[in-house]
Structure 1
């Protein structure tokens, strides 16, 4: 693009902001010249309402600002794309080793009541403009070696949003409390975490004070901003938009959460049972992982010990909950409870093969926005835990033939700049099909009008146990075994072949009656640590800690099976986190302006006789547990031979079962991949009680289920 084509104000054509702004890189170290950079970059320190670390001063939240120069010079007011991402200021990559270090260490008692001590706000002693602050800025404030991660460079998401900078948007990122450059503690799923990120929105809207540095004396205003903010990001960064949206904060006009969490309890657990990777079940693991503040060389030993004592107390509080829902511990992170506060729109993005953040999360988020009466749309792809454009890996997938960032551009141009482009009228649901990744289908609603029932024809009883070796099961082959044969660990119930294609859309529910058959109750079912987990985390389901029987688990899978091998997109690693991609067009994803293009990619397919469509976990000790997380509060003591009714809600999905294929419902005990505590027990199932209700997109025949070998 020639110099003459650069603009000083945003240009919109065909409903999209155009790449008309010059770009200069922000991570070039000594070569970065703030006097000439086309993108103005600097950091601010937003004052929160809290003094979590008890130093008598309100905690400051560091935020990194990138703004096209002409906005700072006053040519226009910029809208802001904001990513609240606790990883971005650095991480503690030794998380697993750390947990083993702290498992038996003595810490001072940390009183959580101290987090709420009120202290007065600072009184600014002067002001500085954005430009003057940027002229003094040092790139080492945002691009520096991450001591907690082998000195790889941080703010590694620095380039993730360059597409938007060259189109006139400001880009702001913050790692929140407990990160290097900020005060306070990382407290996963808390109101403190939520409010830290909310405070940045308030500053951008003109409603909160931010300072030029950590001394907290010289105020700086976002005088280049039009006050309109959109939040986006993936995973933890896709979760915080939902958290902040439920505060109703002024200025937050829309969110585009990617693989975000609606409720931290159901991210870690399902219906009283563990669902996440065993070594990461304690929230304190993630809190430590994101606590790059440990690497702040200005902190005293006492300050470092305070952070550690806080995280240890966080562990102890979760241990008391076991795997059950506790409103006091989990309530603040159950964002869907605050749907009535939501005042913005949402474009929610998720992958059907995401086994990191469960697909139930997008459905709960969608429901919350509907309850709030706000515009909400879904883009659902066949990938795993990814963003459709993976800027840090230089590739992207097309969304129904379009560039993902162009779709987001259209959405935020409408909500942040008021461009009348019809973005709010896009389909309620845009979903990539499982049988042809080039085909995308639309629906006018996520909720369906029809239900298909799969009812067992059997009159017998089935006993399943937890003997992995006898079943020939391991973390590497669990899905292979479960989908294709019944074993001592699992019973399969299979339909006849489908005569017509049927599309399941929503949450599938399995109803059954089951009883504890055998197991040593007095010894907690003889727990074993099969996944080399630290002993602190291993106490999570210990009856001596929680005071109750816990995690007598069943795992449920819904599978598409066929006598012939068929192509499908599914994860290929034991952790169920990777769907490989293949480049189909080098440079096919256009970023525009001075920016290089990314490669256009497609998902690799596998050729098997099955695909796991969706799965769930449930604790037999929680027969009251249902879809809503708070229903998993009450647990019971199981008695051998005593049956209970269970309704197990599988993770949300949209999947077309093709003619000639069957559905297999698999009821198993433990899943080695997600097994913190391997226990010895057996479960008896009343086969006649097994019934599945599956929401479908159009009327279809109910079908029978038969036990399969």
Structure 2
């Protein structure tokens, strides 16, 4: 067997860190020996500025540290790759049932001001080195049963970043406030949540104190770190890098957010209407789901009750907003409002078929970095809510013939190790095409200057209603029906077939005039719970609680349609969350060093006469709502027959319409997949008013829409 050649310092070739460090698995349980492990592992407890639970002591944030042993031994200073992921210390998988259990439960009144307790910082009474702490630490501190998730072992993403460990980077993972091992409460989209992770960056940079355990007496420093940090991760873990970046924290040199959220309001809602999955519309659902601190056996009944009372109050605060934007509730999670504070670069990654975190989110991030004058690149692929390499599923897709982690490696080697490479010369947009997944195209900017106008040639009035049964639609077939034909629930406006290919890139804006045609507003349009949501969540659009008419929804789809079936990549499940993959090369994704390879995969295609390119939701009660989330504050009382003008912004996309294909705009009422409250109403549309502004990469002639 060939002997491995290891190094005590990082080695770079072709602008990338090479896999020259040995690796020891952190999951080896009793076999794990800190004395001989090539990867030093231990946990620290970073002191924050907050005392959310009012115990007179500043809240501590637990973080798992993984560092190549050579850096801890002092042979070089390792930069840090940090994933801030509230799920990683365990979850409460009974979220749906829990929301039903607590829907009618009474809690003590929780005043949100209680979160702002002040406490003096601790004064360390001693110190301990990283190696000394690692030698004292038991693997059960980072690898333990997750009682809330089928007893899986956490930190559940322990090995997601082994690729970087064998190349000389340190890897840090934290679940933040409200997680097992940390103090405080999980408060989705708040300054508290953001700052928990900011504190970890500050510790890595040398600006904050961390302790060896939860007693908070013995200090430990990240003296193996060069003070430079990159943040990355997907979904929630792709959101926190952007949140922390908007604080301007020192030491954060770059972020690589994957399918991250730029604004929590727009994640849950769009232009005054529900956007997300019905049973997860309350932020308190996610807060509970991530609160593994409930499983801390050292907590008293009062401490547990305080967490529960806080979560309930979080529900009540959101119910007052309805589906509209409220600056007090949503402002802290609208991170783009602090874009001017950004001081780092970004490589933003997004799947164009992601119906979990909407594509609008990555575009808002991109715009924020442009506003800040910072370097920003974006990679968009044809996948759903995934990272181009999925370690937990043992597969990855190639990015224009490159391994995803190699692309990230070059990027962070430049920013964290100061390697002179061509990372900043990457194209500003690298996009996988929808018509050939092996083909990738580049653009100088995501924001294009050309546009194509679609104008309706129809006159008169179109009426659509919410009768699912009459339309023959359900969550399983909504797209299939709407993509192919007009029904009582949706009207299609279709162009003539294109003679030349046209590439749409950016945000499509639909303009229309519409009015409430019919419906019993006095009875809230007779709400029905078609998706088995809990009664607390069902109060979200209740006019008696919010004091206003709410959620008279329209859904808008932009579709590629053709008389002949064609291959396309699209989601295949009712929740629109899965694009299947197939292995094309076993072991094709090489991780290097002592690490096993992953399989190279491609997306499976479907064969249909349509493909939904992008979609949007809007509330007719919010005619002022536009692209920016804060424009959805003002709602009106709809009156039957009274028309209003609407500008509806669809989720960002990049899509090439092939010759012989047409574009179809579909205006519908309710979408069963994203329907918390089924209501009975009808909407009148002024056909002649229907227009769309479509951003394109090259000038294209304007098109006429006809009603079909």
TM normalised by structure 2 equals 1.00
Following superposition, the deviation at residue 26 of structure 1 comes to: 0.6
Following superposition, the deviation at residue 422 of structure 1 comes to: 1.3
Match of 2:532? 532
Match of 2:222? 222
What CA distance in whole angstroms lies between the structure 2 residues aligned with 1:63 and 1:121? 19
| Cα-to-partner distance string for 1:654-679 (whole Å, 9 max, x where unaligned) | 00000000000000000000000000
What CA distance in whole angstroms lies between the structure 2 residues aligned with 1:576 and 1:34? 44
Match of 1:555? 555
Match of 1:654? 654
Match of 2:703? 703
Is 1:688 aligned to 2:682, yes or no?
A: no
Match of 2:490? 490
Following superposition, the deviation at residue 425 of structure 1 comes to: 1.1
What CA distance in whole angstroms lies between the structure 2 residues aligned with 1:264 and 1:449? 28
Q: How do residues 164-183 of structure 1 correspond to structure 2 at under 5 angstroms? A: 164-183=164-183
Following superposition, the deviation at residue 53 of structure 1 comes to: 0.8
Match of 1:441? 441
Structure 1 residues without counterparts, runs of 5 or longer: none
What CA distance in whole angstroms lies between the structure 2 residues aligned with 1:400 and 1:699? 26
What CA distance in whole angstroms lies between the structure 2 residues aligned with 1:646 and 1:450? 22
Is 1:59 aligned to 2:86, yes or no?
A: no
Q: How do residues 188-227 of structure 1 correspond to structure 2 at under 5 angstroms? A: 188-227=188-227
Following superposition, the deviation at residue 459 of structure 1 comes to: 1.1
| Cα-to-partner distance string for 1:641-660 (whole Å, 9 max, x where unaligned) | 00000000000000000000
What CA distance in whole angstroms lies between the structure 2 residues aligned with 1:160 and 1:459? 56
What CA distance in whole angstroms lies between the structure 2 residues aligned with 1:350 and 1:294? 33
Match of 1:364? 364
| Cα-to-partner distance string for 1:10-44 (whole Å, 9 max, x where unaligned) | 00011000000001101111110000000000000
Match of 2:18? 18
Match of 1:666? 666
Match of 2:39? 39
What CA distance in whole angstroms lies between the structure 2 residues aligned with 1:224 and 1:369? 30
How many correspondences in the alignment?
A: 708
What CA distance in whole angstroms lies between the structure 2 residues aligned with 1:610 and 1:569? 11
Following superposition, the deviation at residue 149 of structure 1 comes to: 1.1
Following superposition, the deviation at residue 3 of structure 1 comes to: 5.0
1:55 and 1:694, CA in 2 relative to 1: closer, same or farther beyond 3 A?
same
What CA distance in whole angstroms lies between the structure 2 residues aligned with 1:272 and 1:411? 38
Match of 1:633? 633
Match of 1:299? 299
Structure 2 residues without counterparts, runs of 5 or longer: none
Q: How do residues 115-514 of structure 1 correspond to structure 2 at under 5 angstroms? A: 115-514=115-514
What CA distance in whole angstroms lies between the structure 2 residues aligned with 1:80 and 1:424? 20
What CA distance in whole angstroms lies between the structure 2 residues aligned with 1:371 and 1:96? 39
| Cα-to-partner distance string for 1:265-314 (whole Å, 9 max, x where unaligned) | 00000000000000000000000000000000000000000000000000
Following superposition, the deviation at residue 556 of structure 1 comes to: 0.1
| Cα-to-partner distance string for 1:65-97 (whole Å, 9 max, x where unaligned) | 000001000000001100000000000000000
Following superposition, the deviation at residue 4 of structure 1 comes to: 5.6
What CA distance in whole angstroms lies between the structure 2 residues aligned with 1:223 and 1:381? 38
What CA distance in whole angstroms lies between the structure 2 residues aligned with 1:476 and 1:322? 27
What CA distance in whole angstroms lies between the structure 1 residues aligned with 2:473 and 2:314? 34
Give SS of 1:413's match: helix
TM normalised by structure 1 equals 1.00
What CA distance in whole angstroms lies between the structure 2 residues aligned with 1:703 and 1:380? 27
CA RMSD for the aligned pairs? 0.6
What CA distance in whole angstroms lies between the structure 2 residues aligned with 1:331 and 1:414? 34
Following superposition, the deviation at residue 2 of structure 1 comes to: 5.2
Give SS of 2:540's match: helix
